[in-house]
Amino acid sequence: AQKITQTQPGMFVQEKEAVTLDCTYDTSDPSYGLFWYKQPSSGEMIFLIYQGSYDQQNATEGRYSLNFQKARKSANLVISASQLGDSAMYFCAMREDNDMRFGAGTRLTVKP
Amino acid sequence: DTAVSQTPKYLVTQMGNDKSIKCEQNLGHDTMYWYKQDSKKFLKIMFSYNNKELIINETVPNRFSPKSPDKAHLNLHINSLELGDSAVYFCASSQDWGGGRDTQYFGPGTRLTVL
């Protein structure tokens, strides 16, 4: 069964605008971690942001914030003030114990 | 300094050959991983390893084997390469073993092409 779902294969956003990338997950474990990674065309995987299942507040890292809605099992990534360099694949991931699962990814294109 | 490094970056080889990909991390992490990213960009964990335990994803063929000479290294050996092994292989590391909080940091990837 799919544990991490990213329903948007591709997204477009105008430079300087905000964009939300969707992620839903499925788990019965009360303790888990949610991550977002960025993969630019150069291929490396860059860690962006982390949210723990017990964290009360939404995580923020610079222009990145994670909209964590635990009851809905969603962990959407919000990128504010998009830049051309944000164009990349974005992966949502969930970790339970030793198991790490990734979503299929969303390709974000920032238009000038 | 590169936190997680892999060599080679590109690897082109013939079917049936045996090859290795090296991974080193200088973060002082206890746990290392190997992932496979297929042509559709789907990432799948292959192995999780620290000095206590090796966890193998059951879907990984036994032609693949991780070898760890020390805590900072986890090499991936592949025997009898097949066309379907063509992919990008990522090494990653994290501070701790298990638990949801632990962030994994990835190497730059090795693009393997089997002809």
Residue A57 bridge partners (DSSP): none
Q: Residue B110, Cα to own-chain centre: how many angstroms? A: 9
Tell me the shortest Cα–Cα distance from B46 to chain A, in angstroms.
10
**Helix-strand-coil split of chain B, %, nearest 5:** 5, 50, 50
Q: What is the pLDDT of residues A15-56, one digit of tens each?
A: 999 999 999 999 998 989 999 999 999 999 999 999 999 999
B42 close contact with A: CB closer than 8 A = yes
Mean pLDDT value across residues B83-104: 85
pLDDT at B100 over 60: no
Helices (H) and strands (E) in chain B, counts: 0, 11
pLDDT at B55 over 70: yes
User: Which positions 86-105 of B are in contact with A (Cβ < 8 Å)?
Assistant: 88, 90, 92, 97-105
The model's confidence at residue B59, banded by pLDDT at 50, 70 and 90, is confident
Among chain A residues, the shortest Cα distance to B43 is held by: A102
